[in-house]
Amino acid sequence: MKNLDSPALTTVAHLCEYAAERGCRLLPEQMEQFEVLAEWLAERAVAIGLSRYRDLPAVLTAALAPTLALWELVDMTGVHRVMDLGAGSGALGLTLAIAQPHLAVDLVDRRAKVATFLELTAQRLGVGNVSVIRGEARELAASYAHSYDLVCFRALAQAQTALGRAYPFLQPEGYIAAWHQTDDPAFLKPSLALRRIGTTRTAVAGLAVSLYERTIGG
């Protein structure tokens, strides 16, 4: 299956195939969790304004599949603690948590309504490797400084602001993963003390993911 430019993942089996092609093998119980997550996001996340994807194919293709492109850039077996910054519906962090049960994933959002939704979603999925943290990035930076192997975000803010918010949480040898518009020059050439390791397209036309690490002395 090649990269997709329109909603074409109509079943979780298609998502599983898409993941496998990127080096992420899903077991039957993980496929069941993705089915639950996709149906829940299509129903509940849309109802409270956290998603615009109203049916299963749209959720699978546009909300969940883009996360799986990350496997093309990094060996996820070497990642252990993850922050999904500005988690929103939780699609990014929950996809990572389901696909890699060894991860400890913190879903971070400043909104009380969102934090409650994320807690309910994690309970519904039965994932024990997810925690929800409510707070502003600036307020949390001191308590969680240098705590994460991977800090990731999607549609958080403009490049300099988003990368700047993620940077304090990063371990010295950790990574930042940013989902962004394919042709955004600010994400392709970050101004912070970060080196872009690589960028790859996702299942959504115009959406890419870039991976960064600290530069020497950063």
Q: The CATH number of the domain where 72 resides is what?
A: 3.40.50.150
Which residue, 101, 29, 100, is CA-closest to 68?
A: 100
Counting residues of the chain whose pLDDT is more than 70, the rounded percentage is: 95
**What confidence score (pLDDT) does residue 1 get?**
38
CA dihedral 111, 81, 77, 64 (to 10 degrees): 0
Q: How many CB atoms neighbour CB 3 within 10 A? A: 14
Q: Residue 24 falls within a domain, yes or no? A: no
Residue 90 backbone zone (phi > 0: left; psi -120 to 50: alpha; other: beta):
left
Number of H helices, E strands in the chain: 10, 7
Q: 173 in a domain, yes or no?
A: yes
Q: Specify if 4 maps to a domain.
A: no
Predicted TM-score of the model (pTM): 0.94
Question: Is residue 9 in a domain?
Answer: no
Predicted local distance difference test score (pLDDT) of residue 70: 97
In a domain, 39, yes or no: no
What's the confidence (pLDDT) of residue 215? 84
Mean pLDDT, residues 44-48 taken together: 91
pLDDT for res 197 = 96
217 band by pLDDT with thresholds 50, 70 and 90: low
In a domain, 80, yes or no: yes
The C-alpha atoms of residue 38 and residue 11 are separated, in whole angstroms, by 10
- Residue 58: inside a domain: no
Identify the CA nearest to 177 among candidates 66, 16, 97: 66
- Specify if 16 maps to a domain: no
Counted domains in the chain:
1
SS3 90: coil
Range of the domain at 134: 67-214
